[in-house]
Structure 1
Amino acid sequence: MRRWLMVVFWTAMLIRPASAHHIIGGYMYYDDAGSDGKGNHSYLVHLLLYRGCEPVDNNHADLDTFARITIYNNDNLGSFYMTLSVPLSKREYHSNQHVDPCIVNPPTPCYQIGYYNFTVTLPENNNGYTVVYQRCCRNDLIVNAYLPRDGATYYVELPGRNQGIIGDNSPRFDREEAILICANGKFTYDYSAIDPDKDSLSYSFATAYDGASSGDVAPAVASAPPYTPLPYVAPYSAAFPMGSQVSIDPKTGIISGIAPPAGTYVICVRVNEYRNGKLIGYIFKDFHLDVTDCHRVVTASIPSAYNKCQSFTISFTNNSTTGRIYLWDFGDGDTSTAYAPTHTYADTGTYLVKLKVDPGSACGDSATSLARVYPVLKPRFSFSGQCTSALTQFTDQSISTSGTINYWRWDFGTGDTSSLANPQYQFTQARTWPVVLTVGNDKGCMNSDTQQVLIYQAPPISLTPDTDLCYRDTIALPAGTLTSGSFSWTPAYNLLNPYSSAPLSYARKDTTYYVRFTDLNGCWNVDSIRVRVRDSIHVQAAPDTTICTGDPVTLSAVSDGRYVFTWEIPPGKTVAYQQDTSYVPAASSPFVIHAQLQSCTAADTMQVRLVNYPLHIPFRTFSICYGDAAELSTANAVYYAWNPASSVDQPNQPLTLAHPTDTTLYVVSKIDTQGCPKPTFDSIQVNVIPPVKVFAGNDTLITLGESFMLHGTSNVPGQFTWSPADGLNDPHIPNPIASGTRDITYTLTVATPEGCYGVDSIHIRYLEGPAIYVPTAFTPNGDGHNDVLRPFPVGIVKLDYFRVYNRWGELVFQTSQYLQGWDGTYKGKPADAGGYVWVVKGEDERGRTILKKGVAVLIR
């Protein structure tokens, strides 16, 4: 959807009693109050100040209770005459507006007017009086003027005998209303004034004025005229405060056009008063325009005219709201419902084009335009003279086949323009200027042509750099320019065709030649070229070198001039045409550089020897057990460097030991003494087998005559071996069954395929059972031996409880967990030494209950 802009008149001017928003516009006018017959005349002067409806706070000041007015006598170059303090006589609130009902969610503008009226009697004079009011500060959000600025100045000039007409009543603006206008949309606002004397009025946009400051927001004495114009920001100006698409009708005061982008704009309208064709006075109103986004449901927008007159066929531009119903009337009886149609007219003429968007809808919109069909108007021009010291002649070469060209506008890109058909213009700055020619004919056609015009300080000349010449030869000295003209070369010493753009020199000594070029407009420039004469030339190749086979060699040479160079491998194989280059030779060979300056020549030789890289040994890999050393070996070099060196015993030897703790890639750099300056790299990867961790199981008690399954584990796959094999059903599996009659220790060995292994053992005791054994004493001193009193069950499958009591019968410990025991503490403190009663209860494999009691001694 198209975005629009709200424009509410009487918007946001800042006044800062304490740097606060205040006035949003104002103006002054006067009424005649008669003469006293003694040379004095009275006027009723009116000051109107406009303020928004915001509440009074630190940012929004109220209207002043008194306005400080200053009067200057214009007969004495604006000399001070008097001051007045005028009270606020009336305040009005206005919220009336003309709002298009098809605008979505329109805001409601509100403003108030403060009236300050006073009568002043002044001696009649020749040039009248200036009555002025100044106030700070303007809105710092203004977009069409440079800010932050200070305040505003409102004034009116009372007439004198030579300036105006004594007894006149000034014009005044009689419309007090706010309107709503949307950006990029058409708007019309009646900003006309009335004159009590029925004098003729004309309207124009004019400059607004600066005044007052934040240091003195309401000066007791306003400054004297003339007043400082407000500086506008391009592309805005006092004449176009809302841009080039908004204008004011000089006869009616109606402001119309296309609204500008969002922001606050300073607008000033001046009304000139004429009587019998003579200007007798003027007033102006300075106000700010608040520009806010708003949205209209449907908008019809097309250019005001299609007048390029390029052919009978016109492609109509449409800037209207998209996605709607469109009805075009081309003015010749044909219509279209396309969004942007193309139409071919049968004959020349000016046609009224109408576009309706959503015709029949309450919120539909329409627009009109003129289509001028008078083909063909082709604008074009030529120019001559391109230097800043002379005039540039522009010649119109436009063609109009259906009418007579009667309008020319030249825009030279500098801000200057011309309305002549074939103007001359002098540019003061050397650069490329975009020159635009707009032409129009008596049929209303108008079209433009743009060309980039290069202007130079002096006509540029391009010469070759200073050059060398063989003493028995001739050389051309070419000069290039951007335009036509004449050449003159000096001195004439050994020079052929000195008035051409490329003379021939056969100098026999060093000579500097000067060329003067003059273009067709008399602009000229001088440049020079030095010819150095050589009776011999010299070139020296780089020293002989040795490189590695397959590498490029840098071919370079030094010489005493800029010559034609050729590198070759004898006999006659050319490899390069540059003084410095690189080349990959296939074999050791000489390289000859030839230097040539016309018929003078020189040569030198550079010998390049190729040496193979040290012999490379293919990549190898092997594995070692964790903690073992790896043997690293290489050969075919003199200098070695193993990396990483931190785990290598002798990192600079071809044979050494490495001690990696994890899989590691070792790379050795090898350099020999044959002349190849670059190393060869061999690599060996050593895979380190992690430590083999073996667990044979916890030492255990077995009932005599019972079998027991061992449970061996390892962190790596490998071969399991139990020893001795006595009493085992299979000594080469992880979980063999042991059946014995005597205490024994089994050792488990697990070996990996690489030969790494780990060892652990388990001790098995065979006891009569089923039974539960409890030691008779224990020593909880933390030495790791007999620190805990625990039961040792034999043939017991379930432990119901193990309980310990002190000599007073207090329970100091109990558990039902297998092989858990008492650590000799009670209630978090070491228990006393002495005897303690224990009770243990369990169940054997046949379900029989085993209950035993006894005494154990705690020894400290």
Structure 2
Amino acid sequence: MNAVLQAPPGFTYLWNPGGATTQSITINNPTIGTTYTCVLTAPNGCSATLSTVLDQTEINADFNPVIDNCTYNVNFYDSSTVNQGTIGTWMWDFGDGSSTAEQSPFHTFPGPGTYNVHLDVTSTAGNCPADTTIQITINPIPNANAGTDSSVCSQTYQLQATPSLGTGTWTYTGPGTATISDDNVPNPNVTVDIDGVYSFIWTEDNGSGCVSADTVLITFNEMPTANAGPDQTLCLLNTTMAAIPSVGTGTWTVTGPGTILFGNVNLPTTTVTASVEGQYIFTWTEVNSTCTSSDSVTVTFTQMPVANAGTDINVCQLNTTLAAIATVGTGTWTQTSGNGTINFTNINAPLSGISTTTTQGVYVLTWTEDNGNDCVSSDQVQVTLIQTPVANAGTDAPLCLLTYNLNATPSVGTGTWTSVPATATFSPNEHAPNANATVPGNNVYTFTWTEDNTNGCIDSDAVVITFTQMPTANAGPDINICQLDTNLAAIPSVGTGTWTVSGPGILNIALPNSETSAVGTLTQGVYNLTWTEDNGNGCIDSDNMILTLTNQPVANAGARDSVCSLMYQLQGIASYGTGTWSQLDGTGFSSFTNQNFSASNVTTTFYG
């Protein structure tokens, strides 16, 4: 046995006994109870003496293991003792290939089994060693495994715990009641009454107070029952879907000839609009967690025609061309009403020509567009076919009148006479084709016969009538005057008047065209004068008058005379005509030998 004494560093040393000058000395076979001193001298000369008495160190290695029965963990508590100084070092060997120099270590063994745990200790006084070995047993521990979390589309599930050791028991928490077919078997059937997330706990007890538990989460989901609704056949490019939701989130998908615009792809009654008509397959898929159900519905979109028969037609003929605006499908024309029969050139053409050979009037025609699938639209147009009048006002005519019997040939509709100038009057009225037209004076009138068959169907024809007033010649009264000249006295009417004459001599007419022309002759007598008025256009009238021109006698009874007798030869100077003597006054009675002789003798009964 040896003992080693060691002084502090940084000094010079002197040991006693022995006289050694080293910092430490080794004493072989020391004697218990011997005192050793050491003088320490510092570099500055100061010194101090240390002393110690040799004593035997007694050291005992020991420890207490505390085993956790529910784990492989062991707490080792050092209980080694030494009679002087302290325990300076510890070295543990756990028997499983691992070690540590801690005083009281915590150690986890790799598994159950028996392990020889060895402890080596040394003292600080004398570096004295000691060791001990204790055998410990690590019991198996339960390791509960309730299985993996799962989500099921049912209210029944078979649990799948993996047993380790001991007795296992199932418990649960959840939103409803779970019925477990056998609480102590690892794989019982469980049925819940309410969907939701349930925690199932599998607890294993190894009988030595060690319990292990594990939880598995089972999500019970109601299985959706997708119902996409009934098939639809539409006369539209849009509709409202009619899925009947069950549980979870529904989503629409679609296949078809075009694209579909969804109002809300997750709404069972979403609106949908197709880009083109055709048959589309819509699938309504409901997802309730991991539970999925789908149903499909067929929707046939057929664009609804919007029939447009065009605007109403009003024509002055018995034929025209229709003007429907085609949309989709097949269009067909039919006659809905009208007094006659409409003939179509093509009943399926929106721009079909039509005609009637029967009756003019108002016809209602229907344009019907059929796009299949009972997608039918109709529109009506009113077509007024009015026969165009062919006005015939008659032939032009010159007249020696101011009244004319017009002679239009009527066709259809209402005819009306008008005149230019507008001073003509019509009898019985202006609508009679053979009305009498009266004008106020000579003029050229254009008479227009306008036939209106309603609805603007108008035709006109004109006739030119030249009105020339018929003269009414009036040569004036006969004239019988006692002279060989005078002035005529015709009464003019219209036109140009002209005097012509016949008689016993030459009658000079100063102004042959003047109704009051002066006339004169050298030959008395009876003259026949004609006053002829010509108003043009052959309108001539004449009138005669008798002009008797007789020389005016210039009576000259002679000069006054006085005789001495009751008889006297008168001395009258004869001029023209027949002279006649007569007694104007006197007291007696006169008688003439020839009363008509200018130189007649006169005899009186008394003087005076």
TM-score (normalizing by structure 2): 0.30
| Higher CA-based Rg | 2
TM-score (normalizing by structure 1): 0.23
